[in-house]
Copies of this chain bind each other. A is one copy, B any other.
Amino acid sequence: MASSRKLSTPSDYAELLCRYDTWLFDCDGVIWSGDHATEGASKAIDFLRDHGKRVVFVTNNAARSRKMLKTKFDRLRIAASEDEIVSSSFAAAVYLKEVLKFPADRKVFVMGMEGVEAELDAVHIKRCGGTGPEDNKFLAANDYSSLAGEEAIDPSVGAVVCGFDMHMNYGKLCKAFKYLTRDGAQGPVLAGETGGGCHFILTNDDKVVPALGELWPGAGSLVTPLIASTKRNPIVIGKPHAPMLDTVKSLYNIDPTRTIFVGDNLYTDILFAREGRVDSLLVLTGVTKEEDCQTEGIWPTFIAPSISNIVAAESGPSIIADGTSTIHASL
């Protein structure tokens, strides 16, 4: 039977500390829950830094830019720099720029909020749609006149990037539909061309998102009208999909064998780590209970009650002869 190593003694945590140089953290359910910091989270993060560890925060949140997320870290008094935050909107922008080599003269049509826009701006990709006033108003009932005809859409658009959008509306859906279905839309996106090729990118596939202690429709639900009407499937950037971890790896030049992913969700975090071939630590401060591993058949490398427990390493052995030989999951 598969199982995970449950951490409990100071020695367990000391060995963990020794074994990994890079610590990747999911945020919601790990660092914070909604607008409240996890007890002891700030101290645990500081503790890792004090021991020379690299810390990176990896969140599917695409509504906020890294700058806006940094403000949240500050408000919850958890030390973090913008450079340590990888959101799915940031990863989407990097993916477009670095992996898809999106031409500088083409434009992205945004079905999303400030988070996506700010990250596209940061990598100098031109954009339209999004929070633009002309795309955030209701159309008159049964009136398609503003959408029909070639002049209604921008010929230079070469990608539709969808993220969470509290201002989603039919006009934006129609424009995105046209970009994704026009002649040649499935073809290559080339510099110096107009029309034709159009990438379809989704920041993250979360069907629901938590806020104010309840769940609400998420980006993975809001994109479905486009999937249904265009019969196209987007490239999904966020956890548990590979582009997010590929982005993290490329940005920080990390050694996967010395990296651990800390998360609270078996599917978006633990499977994500396993697919990306990095070890994982499940914490029980979020959506998963210990017995869920058995039920779901998904086993993290390690399990701990909370990230706050990491500081217990201070009481463990200060020198580990061979950290990798004594502590690993029986996967």
Task: Give A contacts to B, CB under 8 Å.
Answer: 63-64, 113-114, 136, 138-145, 147-148, 165-170, 173-174, 177-178, 181, 207-208, 211-218, 220-222, 224-229
Contact = CB atoms under 8 A, between A and B. Distances in A.
Contacts of A170: 165-168, 217, 222
Instruction: Tell which of A136, A174, A220, A221 has the most Cβ of chain B within 10 Å.
Output: A221
| Across the A-B interface, the 9 shortest Cβ-Cβ residue pairs | A224-B224, A217-B229, A221-B228, A221-B229, A148-B212, A221-B225, A166-B170, A144-B211, A224-B228
Contacts of A168: 168-170
Contacts of A224: 221, 224-225, 227-228
A218 B177 CA distance: 11
B221 A207 contact: no
A165 B170 CA distance: 8
B144 A212 contact: yes
A170 B217 CA distance: 8
Contacts of A217: 170, 173-174, 177, 225-226, 228-229
Contacts of A140: 166
8 contacts: A142-B211, A148-B212, A169-B169, A170-B217, A216-B229, A218-B229, A221-B226, A221-B228
A217 B136 CA distance: 18
Given A141-B166, A147-B216, A221-B229, 7 more contacts: A136-B138, A138-B167, A143-B166, A170-B217, A173-B217, A178-B214, A217-B225
A207 B177 CA distance: 12
Q: Which of A142, A165, A177 has the most CB of B within 10 A?
A: A142
Given A168-B169, A225-B224, A229-B218, A213 B138 contact: no
Contact of A114 (B136, B141, B166, B218): B141
A208 B178 CA distance: 12
A167 B177 CA distance: 17
A140 B145 CA distance: 28
A211 B63 CA distance: 33
Contacts of A221: 224-226, 228-229
B212 A228 contact: no
A280 to B, nearest CB: 26
A167 B144 contact: no
A166 B145 contact: no
B145 A212 contact: yes
Contacts of A228: 207, 217, 220-221, 224
A213 B141 contact: no
A216 B174 contact: yes
Contacts of A113: 141-142
B167 A213 contact: no
Contacts of A139: 166-167
A140 to B, nearest CB: 8
B165 A216 contact: no
A217 B175 CA distance: 10
A289 to B, nearest CB: 20
